[in-house]
Amino acid sequence: MTTPLLRVDDMRIALAGDGVTHNAVEGVSFEIGRGEAFGLVGESGCGKSITALAVMGLLRRPLSMAGGRIVLEGQEIQNASAAEMRRLRGKRIAMIFQEPMTALNPLSPVGRQIAEMFVLHEGMGWNEAMDRAEDALRQVRVPSPERRIRDYPHQLSGGMRQRVMIAIALACGPDLLVADEPTTALDVTVQAEIIDLMAELCAAKGTAILMISHDLGLVANMCRRVAVMYAGRIVEAQVSEAIFAHPTHPYTQGLVDSLPRLGERARRGRQRLREISGVVPSIAAYPGGCRFNPRCPASTGICREVAPDVTALPEGGLVRCYHHA
Amino acid sequence: MPEALLTLDDLAVHYAVGSSFKGGLKTLKAVDSVTLDVKPGECLGLVGESGCGKSTLAFAIMGLVAPTRGRMLLDGEEISAARKLDRMKVARVVQMVFQDPYASLNPRQTVRRTLAQPLGIHGVSDKAEVEQRVADMMAKVGLRPDHADRYPHEFSGGQRQRIGIARALILKPKLVICDEPVSALDVSIRAQIINLLLELKDEMGLAYIMISHDLGVVEHVSDRVAVMYLGRIVEQGGWREIFEDPRHPYTRALIAAIPDPFNRVVNAAAKAHGEIASAIAPPPGCHFNPRCPLRADRCVAEEPLLEAVGAGHLAACHFRDRTA
């Protein structure tokens, strides 16, 4: 087996609170191959975004790495120094965020923000870097890039700003693009365009994607494999088609069945949506054993006592449940 | 055919924007020539992206913004640009459920007070009756009796939306406008609220205007659907017609934009290009023409009218007879 591009191994992220420390993320392991699109799905507070920040080396107090390894092409980076991480970020791993307005510098023209990548990571002069920035804007299909490079972020629409973010992230041809809810702030037709653009550019450059979203449909559509997180743990990981066709964890099953899917009503008539009872627990009140047990229809005594370990599924993939389908 | 509960006839809401110093005053046509009706007990899905005017339309119906032109008939009473409407009367017929239950509840009022206040304002003064109606309403939306004396911050998002729904229904309205009622909620909570809204609709004989950008939700709950783009209705019809036989390219683009994990190679030809134009300077002719895969010269020169393509199915497109 070849070395994966990124391997996250038994990662634990601690959240320091008033005298107590909680594990915001625990036992998280996954691998992403070169050029592979991998999705991480979960609701707000499940730990998906901080998992991404950990990969980027951007955890800040009160969050900290408390265990496990992050390996980028054979090199452990979880203890890398700030200077080493700065060299990796942008060059080897890049990130785009949900809200491009807050992620871009409002006081700097977008062309300059793209050019900065070439200056910092490739040692280019500013003139040459600005030419490259114009090319980069053209690649993300911003109309009239020669004028747009002088625009400030507030002069661009949400979709255009996200295109600028993608241009910055992909400027130095990174090996891995981490995309945290990249289209949540956008309209649906614009979302479709941005997703297509990301997928196309990454495929052309051989860039792997770690896609993070609450939208299972969106992630499954874009990624080859998907992992579902719940309350700080990965509860199921499978190939995208399988996760919709044969979800095995009760939480995944609930998620898949609870969403009205387009065309479903025409095929089967209006069915009552399956509800997942209860609410997402807060980090300070994670239940013992399996964290989904208070909401789980299949829950039994052992679920409340001992957290289930990872089980490999016969068709590939894994699940963390005693009673999985 | 039952008489319509709400009829909008050529309704328009225009805003003056800009200043006379810089560039001059411009008109933003947030809602432009909208003709629609909602029948008792019916759910009308209203679909469109941000800036299409769907929320302004809701505010006009609620009497929160004054229409510039056109007429509204609400439960047999006429309201027009010229005639100021009686807010109290409107409130007894139409209520609204908002997107963000965190922002739309008064943080300093208990659930009991939030629910009792509309009754007091509308003349229910008998204490025992108020108490009874509040308790009944709370039970209906799935809140426990002991929740009555709690404040909004003590509830989860889903429960807060239940309070928002209870507040909207306490006056027994005939029409409830739901503005993105589940999009601020956690994914695993959405099904609870959608199921609840559908149950209450049957139980209380409510009509809904369901505003949403989530086509899956709209298809699930709606009897009829209207699609808006830059202030105009571009297509309307029964849910089956809209989703199985869409005739406006924008409707097709919206459907094509929904990621389908079982069918990755979606109809790329149906997708829209570019972004929504500014409502201050919308493109001439058909507003959708710069993004449209079917665009022809005629689309720039001439505005297509909303015309029938089938029984109760209307589309505003010069190529409405093309099925793809």
Residues A262, B258: C-beta atoms closer than 8 Å: yes
Helices (H), chain A: 48-56, 82-88, 100-103, 110-122, 126-139, 145-148, 158-170, 188-205, 216-222, 240-245, 250-258, 264-268, 301-305
A203 touches chain B (CB under 8 A): no
> Nearest CA to CA, how far is A120 from chain B (Å)?
32
Residue B115 or residue B28, greater confidence = B115
With an 8 Å Cβ cutoff, are B272 and A189 in contact? yes
Helix (H, G, I), strand (E, B) or coil at B72: strand
Q: Side by side, which strands form the sheet with B69-74?
A: B26-38, B6-17, B69-74, B77-80
pTM: 0.89
Q: pLDDT by residue (tens digit) across A290-315?
A: 999 999 999 999 999 999 999 999 88
- Within an 8 Å CB–CB cutoff, is residue A123 touching chain B? no
Task: Establish if B193 touches chain A: CB-CB under 8 angstroms.
Answer: no
pLDDT band, residue A99 (cuts 50/70/90): confident
Query: Per-residue pLDDT tens for A40-55?
Result: 999 888 999 999 999 9
Mean local confidence (pLDDT), B310-315 = 94
Whether A20 and A63 have beta carbons less than 8 Å apart is answered as no
> Which of A273, A282, A296 to mutate to test binding with chain B, by most B CBs within 10 Å of its CB?
A273
pLDDT bin (cut points 50, 70, 90) of residue B277 is: confident
pLDDT in tens, B205-245: 999 999 998 899 999 999 999 999 999 999 999 999 999 99
Residue-wise pLDDT for B48-85, tens only, equals 888 889 989 999 998 888 889 998 898 888 876 556 66
Q: How far is CA A149 from the centre of its chain?
A: 28
Q: What pLDDT is stored for residue B82 in this prediction?
A: 56
The rounded distance, in Å, linking the Cα atoms of B223 and B245 is: 15
Domain ranges of chain B: 246-324
Rounded to a whole number of angstroms, the distance from the CA of A20 to the nearest CA of chain B is 23
Q: Does residue B139 sit at the A interface (CB-CB below 8 Å)?
A: no
Alpha carbon of A152: minimum distance to chain B alpha carbons (Å)? 18
- Measuring CA to CA, which residue among A310, A201, A230 is closest to residue A25? A230
Interface residue B240 vs chain A (CB under 8 A): yes
Of A44, A159, A258, the CB nearest to B275: A159
Distance CA B197, CA B181 (A): 9
pLDDT of residue A317: 93
Q: How far is CA A41 from the centre of its chain?
A: 8
- Across the interface, whether the CB atoms of B194 and A264 are under 8 A apart is answered no
Task: Tell whether A240 lies on the interface with B, counting CB pairs under 8 A.
Answer: yes
Q: To the nearest whole angstrom, how far is the Cα of A276 from the nearest Cα of chain B?
A: 6
